[in-house]
Structure 1
Amino acid sequence: MTEASGGERRVPADAADALEIGRTCFPETWGDGTPVELRVHEFDIGYLVHAVRSAPADPTRPPELGGSHVVVSKETGDVTTVPNFPEEQAVELYRRGLRSGE
């Protein structure tokens, strides 16, 4: 888990605001030129922002691996990267990082 660097920090008012904040951490398009679609998963202390990959136009092309999600804190607006795990696992990892002071 790492703090994402960037411009001025602001506390998100809602999920749409968190999406706007998180969007700065993702590219606009995938390697094949298709737009990156982002979704937000709200939980008690933050918003998990993650990219959604649609089926590739060319099914013979290898998948793009790696990446990460970001969490926008409801309390402080801090943006933290977490691994590209399923939503609930990523949220739990974020919670553990907060408890351990990472």
Structure 2
Amino acid sequence: MTDSDRPAGTPGLPPTPPPYRPQLGPDPLPTDEAEALVIGRQHFPEVGSPGGPSELYVHEFDIGYLIHAGWPAPEDPTARPADPGGTNIVISKIDGKVADVPNFPPEDAVELYRESYARDGV
């Protein structure tokens, strides 16, 4: 349907939006750590924001990129964490899909992702 074929809409109302076009094909595939970081930033609070991470790190491995946050040091290192837990993300080099993994050390998070990826039969 071209613009000239689409009805103009009802007078006094906003114009009729274009037809919905679903995304075709895989999610964007990052080609390097910088591109993975751009995708990863969408899944974390803004770096430096109140309560947000102080930095984001990228750990590249054979089938993906692990993105994990660095958090500012607590004022009282002996106090319990205000918000324990959290997640890291992995961006697949194969299909670009983003998966959550627990906030484990990078090697453990990557191993857990590999096990999950193999279990899903891909």
Q: What are the ranges of 5 or more consecutive residues in structure 1 without an aligned counterpart?
A: 1-6
Percent identical among aligned pairs is: 49
**Higher relative CO (CA 8 A, sep ≥ 6), structure 1 or 2?**
1
Q: How far apart, CA to CA, are the structure 1 residues paired with 2:102 and 2:73?
A: 21
Map residues 1-102 of structure 1 onto 2, 5 A cutoff.
9-28=27-46, 33=50, 35-36=52-53, 37-56=55-74, 58-59=75-76, 62-63=80-81, 64-101=83-120
Number of aligned pairs?
A: 94
1:89 counterpart SS class: helix
Segments ≥4 residues shifted beyond 3 Å: none
Inter-CA distance 62–28: structure 2 relative to 1 (3 Å threshold): farther
**What TM-score comes out, normalization by structure 1 length?**
0.80
**RMSD (CA atoms):** 2.4
**What TM-score comes out, normalization by structure 2 length?**
0.68
Structure with more strand by fraction: 1
Task: State the 1:62 CA deviation.
Answer: 4.0
Q: What are the ranges of 5 or more consecutive residues in structure 2 without an aligned counterpart?
A: 1-22
1:95 counterpart SS class: helix
